[in-house]
Amino acid sequence: MILAAASELFAVGGFSQTSVRSVAAAAGVDSALVHHYFGTKDELFLAALALPLDLRVAIRPVVEGPLEGAGERMMRVFLGAWEQEPVRLRLLGLLRGSIEPQGARLVQDGFLRIVVRPVIDELGADQPDRRTALVAAQILGLIMIRYVLMVEPLASAPVEEVVALYAPILQRFLADPLPPG
């Protein structure tokens, strides 16, 4: 199974340490077959995550609009995904593994590299590394409290309320001048 091999190798070695060739070898097939069925290494990685939505499509509305309002659009995309039960259950499974070193790489390689960083880059603000870390921290904290620990009243708060609380902070980290650092 190509996907099972990819999933295991990405989890152990991280995205950068894993090659399509090594996945093919582990699955006992030729690299060309992996490329034929799964395309690029990015696409193979996303397929191995087995998410019931395409993250790269889901984040398009964030970058296909003015810089103004990007924080609010990002919150809506993010909550829109997490509020769907099949997506939430799969993401919670991935997150549970993220506390261990292997799973931590999945969050770094998947969430930060495939979701957050491209948004920051396309929006074009300065200090992209710093903004990526800050936006990721903001979203991970909300995930922990709302979906993992389920702390009330944030766990049951309507999506619009969470957007109102978080959009200004995300907007600041995505686009506004940051303090020196």
Give contact residues for a second copy (rule: CB under 8 A): 95-96, 98-100, 104, 107-108, 112, 129-130, 132-134, 136-142, 144-146, 148-149, 151-155, 157-158, 161, 164-165, 169, 178-181
Pick between residue 1 and residue 104 the one whose CB is nearest to a second copy.
104
- C-alpha–C-alpha distance, residues 55 and 59, integer Å: 6
- C-alpha–C-alpha distance, residues 125 and 166, integer Å: 19
Q: Is the dihedral of CA 13, 19, 25, 28 positive or negative?
A: positive
CB of 86 to a second copy, least distance (A): 20
Query: What phi, psi does 54 have (nearest 5°)?
Result: -95, 110
CB of 177 to a second copy, least distance (A): 12
Pick between residue 18 and residue 138 the one whose CB is nearest to a second copy.
138
Pick between residue 29 and residue 112 the one whose CB is nearest to a second copy.
112
Pick between residue 53 and residue 169 the one whose CB is nearest to a second copy.
169
Q: Give start and end residues of each alpha helix (H) in 18-69.
A: 20-27, 31-38, 41-49, 55-58, 60-63
CB of 148 to a second copy, least distance (A): 6
CB of 85 to a second copy, least distance (A): 18
Give the DSSP H/E element, type plus range, for residue 175: helix 159-175
Pick between residue 33 and residue 164 the one whose CB is nearest to a second copy.
164
CB of 145 to a second copy, least distance (A): 4
Alpha carbon separation from 114 to 46, 111, 145 (Å, rounded):
9, 6, 23
